[in-house]
Amino acid sequence: MEKLHGMGKKIAQLRQSHGMTQEALGKRLSVSAQAVSKWENGDSLPDLSLVAELSVVFHCTTDYLLGRESGLEALLPQIRESFGSLSTEQKVSFLGQIITLAEAPLSTPSTEPMSHPSLVQSYLGPTGIGLWAQDRMVCIATTTFLNEAVEALGKEVQFPLHFVPDEIRHVLLALLRSMEDLKPDYAMDEKTLQSIVPSTVDCQHVLQECIELGFVDRVRGGYRLNFKGDLAVRLLALLHQTISKPGMMNVTVGNS
């Protein structure tokens, strides 16, 4: 009896969340509204073939409908296989739904101490950039979009929001040479840097400003962006692209 009521409750919740009436669900499954009502009231169970149909209609697993708690890890093989056939837009939409469902801050244990108390995890590699923070800020961008954002920020003369002077922006972008690693191990000497940035930029003066801001480190061989500077430049580029070309991104703000 408990199994009947448990499954019936799930069917009712899923039906309501999809905005369907008992009659509409019955038509979808070629059964009567009365049959659906009996399932939801725990008076009977749908046939095995209908359980499979219900999982398709509600985009859930049959295990979920049957009350088999196998854990989220059990879904990973199916998700991994399905991802191969999804378009980029579908992948982003799926990830957005997962993020929206989060009721608590995302937290991932890190093996390295972070200097910023609210930063839980950051990732940058061939697949893109991901940033999770304890205050429920999540940022995900593919490598393609990130490259486009950085390139656009380098070409734009007028930035919509003046966070940093243009001369500092030029130097930071010049030091951002690798798109596949945060805090790369190389350094750039001042002469090479001067050949990249506009001739009007006083490199020595601007580099000192960047060091004081905590974005650049002076190391053997020249200068390099530190973790803070590297991440800040990339996020600045994403923000610039969001403001300049809002149609390219999906931004959700709210409590859920």
Could you give all domains of the chain from N- to C-terminal order, each with its CATH number? 2-70 (1.10.260.40), 143-248 (1.10.10.10)
Q: pLDDT confidence of 6, banded at 50, 70, 90?
A: confident
d(CA 222, CA 140): 31
pLDDT for the residue 89 = 67
Averaged pLDDT for residues 27-33: 94
Question: Which CB contacts under 8 angstroms, 24+ apart, belong to 118-127?
Answer: 122/182, 122/231, 124/179, 124/180, 124/181, 124/182, 124/234, 125/180, 125/181, 126/180
Query: Given a cut of 60, is residue 157 above it in pLDDT?
Result: no
d(CA 241, CA 48): 50
Model-level pTM greater than 0.85? Answer: no
Query: Given a cut of 60, is residue 35 above it in pLDDT?
Result: yes
pLDDT for the residue 254 = 45
Query: Given a cut of 90, is residue 158 above it in pLDDT?
Result: no
pLDDT for the residue 174 = 87
Averaged pLDDT for residues 141-151: 76
pLDDT for the residue 103 = 39
pLDDT for the residue 53 = 93
Give the β-pairing of 222-225 and 119-125: unpaired
Averaged pLDDT for residues 219-245: 81
- Identify any residues that bridge with 128 across adjacent strands, giving them in sequence order: 125
pLDDT for the residue 7 = 87
Render pLDDT for 105-126 as a digit per residue (tens, 0 to 9): 433 333 343 344 444 566 666 5
